[in-house]
A and B are shown apart, each in its own frame.
Chain A
Amino acid sequence: MPMRFSIYRYDPDRDARPHMQEYELAEVRPGMMLLEALIELKRQDESLGFRRSCQEGVCGSDAMNINGRNGLACITPLKDLKEPVTLRPLPGMPVIRDLIVDMEPFYRQYRAVKPWLTGETPEVEREQLQSPEERERLDGLYECILCACCSTSCPSFWWNPERFLGPAALLQAWRFLADSRDQATDQRLSLLEGNYRLFRCHTIMNCVEVCPKGLNPTRAIGRIKALMVKKSV
């Protein structure tokens, strides 16, 4: 059975404006994922640009807007998609070419939360201890693959990209706040103070709905807010 696609095309050297291009895939194999379809379409048209690597939803390369919803092409089954399958780059990001966006604004926010463990210098010849319960608090946080599906579907992020850190970066902020080994709680919280960096989240929950890893940035943001309140009284 053939399947129809409508794909956002833009090459800044050639096109004055972006346009949608129609494609048809002659044969859809059972169980086929969207990324496989894109690779097939690229055989028809080498100029079609998209990022990809692992093909199994762990590297975060191939996030795109699929029929209006952000997701990873490699773990999106074709059979669930309405035709024509409409593919656009992640919303709210500068487009480099076709489905490829400039991720730098997203990475900048990630770096802004100082996403690294900051602790006392541990003894060299053994591990720092952490109980299974303490470790469990990191589940649902450390698995983020930095795909940007969440942040680029967050209205607060679109409107204040320079000031609101967005769900992915805030999830990472909480990942380190929640780590029993981390000693930088106060610095981390003061980084997030002010009206915007954290507080622009209006719990619209788009981020939770689209995260391909089933993570919950909204909950993490709520936890940071709660911790701030607790620290300030």
Chain B
Amino acid sequence: MNVERRKFDALIIGAGGGGLRAALQLARADAQVAVVSKVFPTRSHTVAAQGGVNAALANVLPDNWHWHMFDTVKGSDYLGDQDAIEYMCRAAPKAVYELEHAGVPFSRLENGRIYQRAFGGQSQDFGGEQAARTCAAADRTGHAILHTLYQQNIRARTHFFDEYFAIDLIRDREGYVLGALVMSIESGECLLIEAKATLIATGGAGQLFRTCTNALINTGDGIAMAMRAGVPAQDMEFFQFHPTGIAGKGMLITEGARGEGGYLINREGERFMERYAPHARDLASRDVVARAIATEVREGRGCGPEGDHVLLKVDHLGEEVVAKRLPGIRELALTFLHIDPAKEPIPVYPTAHYTMGGIPTNRFGQVVAPVRHGPEEPVPGLYAAGECACVSVHGANRLGGNSLLDIIVFGRAAARHIVGFLQENRYHRPLERESVERALEHRARWDRKGKGEPVAEIRRELRKVMEEHCGVFRDQQVLSEGLDKVKALAERLQEAVISDHSRIFNTARVEAMETENLMDLALATVTSALARTESRGAHSRIDFPERDDENWMKHTLCFADGRLDYKPVRTRPLTVDPFPPKPRVY
């Protein structure tokens, strides 16, 4: 085992909003924390979040956490776990105030309080009038939050390993997770970070799909690492397609654009959302709006010469609202489309956006898996938070503004639980050679020379297959063809090679390891989607158009070998009455 070793109390893999919020909490509790990130922290994808973060502050319209909870349960199409949802919605106002105190430059109302805008799926009084629950820093909320959390972490002297790539978790025979094998991208050297507790906060896997709103680094590494360590991936069939990506390109136009009063039209100039969601219209839940757009286009009412998109109008809001509330999307539209949204409508189409599934956790951020006693046994020493985790607060469909909330609430919750865990587990457990060697072998796999296909080609094909076979609408045939194709690609990846074997900042090697991770997740996603013979939230089966609560109100668990298992939804909240499943109309 010829590898350098470092020891910390806690290891956090990922420096997005989830990882940084947890790190801050741990640093304040005087724990020794290492944060590993494959990019400099402020380059994590949280930086791209636009619209805002939900909390029932009631600064603009009446609100309370219980209404927020109702909307989240309904939005999840009743697949969300109600204990975790209650916890999150109750914690939201305090979590947002903490961010404000830390320095986040939220937009403000005349009375000096935090500005809140309307977002999709939000209501007052359990399904009544539209609510305004999304706290915003213009349309750069993610940037504002991520930079602030990074700044506070420098102040707290958190120990950062920037541009280190995590390869695999180290787990002993008793099941304890003891840290991870990571690699300095700059030097190519491996480093073994031993930790009493390890938190995975590696974000989502939007790179599974060709057209997506996600950064190139969003390859779901943490979920794949957990799967390789024996933890199943939960609910991977639920992938959110955001209704309004820039058509053909994928960059996101925030739901906030509709929250500020924008709306969608088809080629006839019709506000078609009135037909699909008479009450909430353009601010119905994302899955509903995405399907509506896809349907308009399929039925020949799309815009443009190819009829392949619809238009998002914000020009009627006036120059000032666009400049003040939506400066970021204006910049995007000008850069990528040469269109000024204050003057012309924006061509949009549903785009892969958010990974609802992920590493199964409970509301304390502990990773849970079926081992001996029931489906939710904590994996000792392992935690997950943020988009890579599946608590599950988003169930089958996430509400806009709930993910930034998820990362800060559960980043903090996980850190708090880790503090307790550290008190009971004062010493590092001895490392077992085998587990480290397995990880080192995995790293060495890409040293293989000789003939073989380039990895980049396989990655491109995979993303295309996923888009064509696992998109907004699915059925048995399309999915099973998709599964065959992904399996064939997985086999080709076994034989692939990289041509660059250099040591220093070898990006080809990093991309190859990311592609392996994507492949594992693609298999889990298609396998889970094929098995679920109902339509719920973002998972929409043409051959099974109805939700089937009797057979399918349960979470999918997919293991690395493709084996499926299921566990019940937690329908019992912490203190209030459960929200039983109801037909979902907006």
Partner of B113, one of A52, A59, A75, A129: A129
| Chain A residues numbered 24-83 whose CB sits less than 8 Å from any CB in chain B | 31, 42-43, 46-47, 49-61, 75
Q: Mark B133-175, 1 if CB is under 8 A from A, else 0.
A: 0000110100110011001101100000000000000000000
**Docked pose: A111 CA to B94 CA in angstroms:** 28
B143 touches A124 (CB 8 A): no
**Which chain A residues lie closer than 8 Å to B328 at the CB level?**
58
Q: Mark B493-525, 1 if CB is under 8 A from A, else 0.
A: 000001110111111100000000000000000
**Which chain B residues lie closer than 8 Å to A186 at the CB level?**
none
Q: Mark A134-153, 1 if CB is under 8 A from B, else 0.
A: 11001100110110000000
- Partner-binding segment picked from A114-122, A157-165, A197-205: A114-122
- Partner-binding segment picked from B98-106, B120-128, B473-481: B98-106
Q: Does B405 contact A (CB under 8 A)?
A: no
B94 touches A61 (CB 8 A): no
B103 touches A116 (CB 8 A): yes
A146 touches B504 (CB 8 A): no
**Which chain A residues lie closer than 8 Å to B154 at the CB level?**
111, 115-116
B112 touches A59 (CB 8 A): no
B454 touches A46 (CB 8 A): yes
Task: With CB as the reference atom, state the residue of chain B lying closest to A132.
Answer: B108
Q: Does A11 contact B (CB under 8 A)?
A: yes
Q: Does B107 contact A (CB under 8 A)?
A: yes
Partner of B147, one of A31, A103, A111, A142: A142
A53 touches B502 (CB 8 A): no
B456 touches A13 (CB 8 A): no
Q: Does A181 contact B (CB under 8 A)?
A: yes
**Docked pose: A121 CA to B4 CA in angstroms:** 41
- Partner-binding segment picked from B43-51, B295-303, B368-376: B43-51
Q: Does A21 contact B (CB under 8 A)?
A: no
Contact-residue bracket for chain A = 35 or more
Most buried by A among B105, B111, B113, B503: B105
B109 touches A132 (CB 8 A): yes
Partner of B507, one of A49, A125, A128, A181: A49
B196 to chain A, nearest CB (A): 28
Q: Does B61 contact A (CB under 8 A)?
A: no
A115 touches B151 (CB 8 A): yes
Chain B contact residue count (CB 8 A cutoff): 61
Partner of B504, one of A11, A103, A142: A11
**Docked pose: A78 CA to B94 CA in angstroms:** 46
Q: Does A14 contact B (CB under 8 A)?
A: yes
Task: With CB as the reference atom, state the residue of chain A lying closest to B213.
Answer: A56
**Docked pose: A146 CA to B47 CA in angstroms:** 12
Most buried by B among A14, A97, A116: A116
**Which chain B residues lie closer than 8 Å to A46 at the CB level?**
454, 456, 498-500, 508
B505 touches A31 (CB 8 A): no
A47 touches B43 (CB 8 A): no
Known: A116-B152, A146-B42, A179-B103. A130 touches B215 (CB 8 A): no
Known: A100-B505, A145-B143. A54 touches B112 (CB 8 A): no
A128 touches B143 (CB 8 A): no
Known: A46-B499, A116-B152, A125-B94. A54 touches B504 (CB 8 A): no
**Docked pose: A42 CA to B505 CA in angstroms:** 14
A-B contacts, 27 listed (Cβ < 8 Å): A11-B504, A14-B502, A42-B456, A43-B456, A46-B498, A54-B45, A54-B216, A56-B251, A56-B336, A57-B335, A61-B39, A97-B504, A97-B505, A116-B102, A116-B103, A116-B148, A116-B152, A119-B101, A126-B97, A127-B57, A127-B101, A131-B112, A142-B105, A142-B137, A142-B143, A142-B144, A145-B143
Q: 6 tightest CB-CB pairs across the interface, nearest first?
A: A117-B103, A129-B112, A116-B151, A46-B508, A47-B500, A59-B43
Residue numbers of B with Cβ under 8 A of A are: 39-40, 42-45, 47-48, 57, 93-94, 96-97, 100-103, 105-114, 137-138, 140, 143-144, 147-148, 151-152, 154-155, 186, 215-217, 251, 328, 331-332, 335-336, 454, 456-457, 498-500, 502-508
- In the complex, besides A46-B454, A52-B216, A179-B105, 12 extra interface pairs with C-beta distance below 8 angstroms are A42-B508, A47-B500, A55-B215, A57-B332, A119-B101, A125-B97, A127-B114, A131-B110, A139-B138, A142-B143, A142-B144, A179-B103
